[in-house]
Chain A
Amino acid sequence: MTGGPQERLSFGRPEGSGGTAESGPVVLTVEELNRRVRDLLTEHFGTVWVEGELSGIKYYRSGGRTRIYGTIKDANAEARLVLWEESVSALRFELEDGMKVLALADVSLYPQRGQFQLVVREVRPAGVGELELAFQQLKDKLAGEGLFDEERKRPVPLFPFRVGVVTSRQAAALRDFMIISRHRNPAVRILVAPARVQGEGAAEEIARGIARLNTIDGLDCIVITRGGGSLEDLWPFNEEVVARAVAASTLPVISAVGHETDWTISDMVADLRMPTPSAAAERVAWPREEWAARIIEQRDRMGRVIRTRVQGLMQRVGWFTRAHGFQTLGIRLREATQQLDEALRRLPVGFRHRLEVAGRDLLSAGERMRSASVSALERRERQLTQLLRTVNALSPIQVLERGYAIARRPEGGPVVRSATELEPGVPLEVYLREGMAEVRVEDTGPGLESLVESTGDPASEEG
């Protein structure tokens, strides 16, 4: 009992590091032992799938490389795991504590610590699809940063004239765009930034397309689009690099990816989501004919208002001039009105004509119309301004001041200019400098023509 350990100790002491097979256990350096255990583990297990729950996950970033350390465990056991750079960059989602996963791993050993560990090559979420998980994670992350907030959304112009489109040159979405915009609104120009819209590297190309279009002068908005496909096909539009590019875009971005039921991350970050490429095309190729008709309608309405206003004015002026026999002035006014009226009438017709001959040389027609209408209008405006001055100068108050009275039929009826229009018992309103009187005709007879003659031309008196 006393000599035992010593005996064993001396027994085991080797002459050389290799040891002698028959004489008992070999003596190894720790380093060598660990290396052998590692090799044994690797050879014996190779690569295995391990199912369990992650815990203690830590990302280590240094020099642009990222490694992940942590533990995979179940109810009664746990094992250390590590992911090297290549495996980390292949991950589509972030590893989190508590996540249930399937890990494809080489069983190995960390020699410096003598610790058994799994070198993980690939991780799949257990129970939920990898893409669904990645989608949810990115969605939560960006939502947390406020990238989906309504306040961030910029209005997309209602009437864009130049639209940048990020899509594949071969995409059906691009054909839709060209056909729809040609039919609905040939005034909208389209600039395509070609990018692959599915597969490896597509997300980076889409992001770059958005950035490039932002450097172009005169663009009104950007559309990123592709037609329908599998979740995998649409995936680039769920990648962070695209989401970041959309968020960083100075120009408003419309995202139109897949079918109506497909919602991508880019849809959520974009200023406007349209359900399909066609819907996006219709949104940017606003209906030109409708708006052309609306412009004409506005023009016609303006014309009607002005005609009515001028006619109203002429009636007011006419009432007065007829009453006092200012015939020359009346004729001048009527001529001016007629000319103005014609000028106004011509305008909408000219415009309608312009539309009908769309495609021909519209600019020269426009120029002719412009010089005709504007100079006529300016002349009319000067004349009317002059007329207004005259009318003010000849306001009835000033005439009544001189002792005249005006007789009219009651309740705004016509002015009475001749006694032959009257008979006894007819009611009249007589306007004086101050107030008016309601009177009834007693009798009629010849008047004092000489009094009217002697007033001469009041207009020249006023001037």
Chain B
Amino acid sequence: MMAEKKSKGEIPETFEERIERLEQIVAELEAGEAPLESSLGLFEEGIRLARACQEQIEAARTRVEVLLEEAEEGQTVTEPLEEADEE
């Protein structure tokens, strides 16, 4: 997916993993056991995660496509489904 190619190495790929890591960071910060310096590191990572999630969520607009019969073997062709089909 597009959003994932942009992400930096340390940010997990899927939305699910990102959310999970973000919540883990918040819990860690709130536990207050990490030293200040690593807390700031966590905070920065958390901000990057939140931003990445946000971009992932907002990147796309609903698209409905239809898989067409392959023109040739192994080819995949799609077309957008017309609004008219939706009513």
Which A residues are closer than 8 A to B by beta carbons? 157-159, 161-162, 164, 169, 174-175, 177-179, 181-182, 185-194, 209, 212-213, 215-216, 218, 288, 291-292, 294-296, 298-299, 301-302, 305-306, 309-310, 313, 347, 351, 354, 358, 362-363, 366, 370, 373-374, 377-378, 380-381, 384-385, 388
Point out the residues of chain A lying under 8 angstroms from B47, CB to CB: 299, 302, 347, 373-374, 377
What 0/1 pattern do residues 18 to 40 of B give for CB contact below 8 A with A?
Answer: 01001101100110100011011
Cβ-closest 10 pairs across A and B:
A305-B29, A186-B62, A159-B15, A190-B64, A193-B67, A187-B60, A182-B62, A192-B66, A299-B50, A189-B63
Q: Give the residue of A159, A182, A193, A302 whose beta carbon is less than 8 angstroms from that of B46.
A: A302
Point out the residues of chain A lying under 8 angstroms from B30, CB to CB: 301, 305
Point out the residues of chain B lying under 8 angstroms from A169, CB to CB: 66, 81, 85
What 0/1 pattern do residues 61 to 87 of B give for CB contact below 8 A with A?
Answer: 111111100000000101001000111
CA distance A187 to B46 in the complex (A): 22
Q: Give the residue of B32, B44, B67 whose beta carbon is less than 8 angstroms from that of A194.
A: B67
Point out the residues of chain A lying under 8 angstroms from B7, CB to CB: none
Point out the residues of chain B lying under 8 angstroms from A378, CB to CB: 44
Q: B66, A298: Cβ atoms under 8 Å? A: no
Q: A298, B62: Cβ atoms under 8 Å? A: no
Chain B, interface residues (CB within 8 Å), range: 35 or more
Tell me the minimal C-beta distance from B59 to chain A in angstroms. 7
CA distance A189 to B66 in the complex (A): 11
Q: B39, A305: Cβ atoms under 8 Å? A: yes
User: A388 with B57: in contact, given A191-B67, A366-B51, A374-B44 (CB under 8 Å)?
Assistant: no
User: A161 with B60: in contact, given A190-B65, A370-B51 (CB under 8 Å)?
Assistant: yes
Which B residues are closer than 8 A to A by beta carbons? 1, 14-16, 19, 22-23, 25-26, 29-30, 32, 36-37, 39-44, 46-47, 50-51, 53-67, 76, 78, 81, 85-87
User: A179 with B86: in contact, given A305-B39, A313-B36 (CB under 8 Å)?
Assistant: yes
| 16 pairs, CB–CB < 8 Å, chain A vs chain B | A157-B14, A161-B56, A190-B62, A191-B64, A288-B57, A291-B57, A298-B26, A298-B46, A299-B47, A299-B50, A301-B26, A302-B25, A309-B39, A362-B58, A366-B51, A366-B54
Q: Give the residue of A186, A193, A309, A381 whose beta carbon is less than 8 angstroms from that of B32.
A: A309
CA distance A368 to B58 in the complex (A): 17
User: A215 with B76: in contact, given A302-B29, A354-B54 (CB under 8 Å)?
Assistant: yes
CA distance A85 to B59 in the complex (A): 56
Point out the residues of chain A lying under 8 angstroms from B62, CB to CB: 178, 181-182, 185-190
Q: Give the residue of B1, B40, B63 whose beta carbon is less than 8 angstroms from that of A384.
A: B40
Most central of A169, A192, A296, A310 by chain B CB within 10 Å: A192
Point out the residues of chain B lying under 8 angstroms from A177, CB to CB: 64
Q: Give the residue of B37, B50, B67, B81 whose beta carbon is less than 8 angstroms from that of A351.
A: B50
CA distance A296 to B64 in the complex (A): 29
Point out the residues of chain A lying under 8 angstroms from B23, CB to CB: 298
CA distance A60 to B43 in the complex (A): 71
CA distance A216 to B76 in the complex (A): 8
Measured CB to CB, the nearest residue on chain A to B74 is: A215
Q: B22, A178: Cβ atoms under 8 Å? A: no
Point out the residues of chain A lying under 8 angstroms from B65, CB to CB: 189-192
Q: A175, B86: Cβ atoms under 8 Å? A: yes
Q: Give the residue of B40, B78, B81 whose beta carbon is less than 8 angstroms from that of A178.
A: B81
User: A161 with B40: in contact, given A191-B78, A373-B47 (CB under 8 Å)?
Assistant: no
User: A377 with B60: in contact, given A159-B14, A306-B29, A366-B55 (CB under 8 Å)?
Assistant: no
Tell me the minimal C-beta distance from B21 to chain A in angstroms. 10
Point out the residues of chain B lying under 8 angstroms from A381, CB to CB: 37, 40-41, 44
User: A192 with B67: in contact, given A169-B85, A175-B86, A186-B62 (CB under 8 Å)?
Assistant: yes
